[in-house]
Amino acid sequence: MKLTIEVIGMGYIGLPTALLLAEAGHNVYGVDINEEKIGSLQKGNLPFEEKGLKELFSKVKSFGHFSVSSNLKPADVFLIAVPTPQIDHKSDLQYVFSALTKIKEVFKDGGTIIIESTVGPTDCERQIIPEIIKMGKKFRFACCPERAIPGNTLYEMVYNARIIGGHTLEDAVYVRDIYATFIKGEIFTTSSTVASTCKVMENTYRDVNIALANEFARIADEVGFNVWEAISLANKHPRVNILQPGPGVGGHCIPIDPWFFTAISKQTDMILISRKINDNMPQYIVDRVSKLLSKLSLKKPTIGILGYAYKKNVDDFRETPAEEITFLLSKKYKVLINDPFVKNSPRRTIDLDDILNQSDALILVTDHEIYRKIDFTKYPNIKFIFDTRNFFQKNDFNNSPILLYCLGKG
Ligand code: SAJ
């Protein structure tokens, strides 16, 4: 099966998907409204880092059937991978609709439209498909929410199980065969409503369970035990898998997708409380650090934030809890940020050595592996470190006067 496929949205999901489809032999056009991004892709530069992406890009370029443009052309298949943010806790489909408007201009009878962007459980049937019907042409439609994790996107795109939700069963089967040209994991077919619901459920499940871990951490701080040890031992039970506490949840999925449920249903007590717990973690961290700082009697302390990305070893800072922590701390203190991966963030980041030399206290927000290499004996100015990820251990500070505090250790 060799098709002409247009992938709309050259972001964290659209670009790797386009390259995998091109590697599988399809003729692929990548489209994005951001002309700067298109220009830089045309010059051979990737807009973000992701394991194996550079190599795949070079390989696919040598095949000669992947090109990018800011305008749509006619194609057999249109795959939409644009952002679906939430505004006031409701899904905002404006980028999806704007993609559909452009598709309409080049869409031919019998063409296929796939949506990979995360959408609410009822969005396909109530909003997206009616819009496609208005085009007045015969069409196939499927909702195939992406399930890959930043940092291991390419591997997960190929090996994770995939859910294809068709407008009709025939649509699902047709689109399954397209995905089967590059996916090695299992592929399941269902309705578009079930497929979009699965995606929102998956990330809500994670949000709720991270909130539980964060609540355990706060109990540990109040009562005085080591939550990390307790979680690791509780997880020895064959049917228990507690997630890890942290500074809050970031990324473009977990803090957002649960709102797709609250927007359409009132049966969401647990979802709402979990969102609240996770969203309050930055404030909780800042309160704990402020308390520690107040004991130091420094005039205007400088706090160094280690890590601005939303999770370790990636450059992605969408919805990062580091932003809220920075915002809250900046009201009272001078705040400096280091992140070896993040480029073009709205916050200025500085070199690691500079932040270590200039800070009175540090908060480890993102557990980038590179921070293991810090030789803390070189920075006597640092009074304490507040670790939000259980990244450092007491032994790391054996020869240093720096005090180590950690979330969830009492
Ligand atoms: N986090 C914790 N504790 C944990 C795990 C994560 O605090 O035990 C935090 C992370 O630090 C981060 C946030 O949660 O701030 C999210 O990180 P993540 O690695 O759990 O997930 P994402 O957002 O990078 O990717 C998720 C994945 N979904 C699931 O695992 C169910 C991925 O498979 C999805 O494709 C992606 O959302 C998406 O696009 O929806």
pLDDT tens across 100-123, in order?
Answer: 999 999 999 999 999 999 999 999
In this prediction, what percent of the chain has a pLDDT beyond 70? 100
* Ligand 1 atom 4 nearest Cα: 244
Neighbours of 78 (CB within 10 A): 25
| The predicted structure's pLDDT at residue 410 | 84
Of all protein residues, the one whose alpha carbon is nearest to atom 35 of ligand 1 is: 147
What would the DSSP string read from start to end of 15-55? HHHHHHHHHTT-EEEEE-S-HHHHHHHHTT--SS--TTHHH
Is 114 within 8 Å of 77 (Cβ atoms)? yes
What is d(CA 211, CA 142) in angstroms, rounded to the nearest whole number?
32
The DSSP output letter for 139 is: E
How far is residue 309's CA from residue 12's CA, in Å, rounded to a whole number? 14
d(CA 178, CA 112): 11
Q: Which of 261, 152, 150, 245 is nearest to 202 (CA)?
A: 261
Q: What is the pLDDT of residues 253-294, one digit of tens each?
A: 999 999 999 999 999 999 999 999 999 999 999 999 999 999
Task: Tell me how crowded residue 224 is: count the other CB atoms within 10 A of its CB.
Answer: 9
Expressed in angstroms and rounded, the spacing between residue 25 Cα and the centre of ligand 1 is: 31
Cα-to-centroid distance, 230 and ligand 1 (Å) = 22
Ligand 1 atom closest to the CA of 146, numbered from 1: 35
Side chain identity at 128, as an amino acid letter? I
3-state secondary structure of 142: strand
Cβ neighbours for 17, distance < 8 A, ≥ 6 positions apart: 7, 79, 81, 116, 146, 157
pLDDT tens, position by position, 141-177: 999 999 999 899 999 999 999 999 999 999 999 999 9
The residue contributing the CA closest to ligand 1 atom 32 is 149
Residue 72 CA to ligand 1 centre (angstroms): 32
pTM for the structure as a whole:
0.94
Please give the structure tokens belonging to residue 377: 């004996």
Q: What is the pLDDT of residue 344?
A: 86
What residue ranges line ligand 1, CB within 6 angstroms?
A: 118, 146-150, 202-203, 206, 210, 243-244, 246, 249-251, 253-254, 310-311
Rounded to an integer, what distance in angstroms lies between the CA atom of residue 349 and that of residue 35?
26
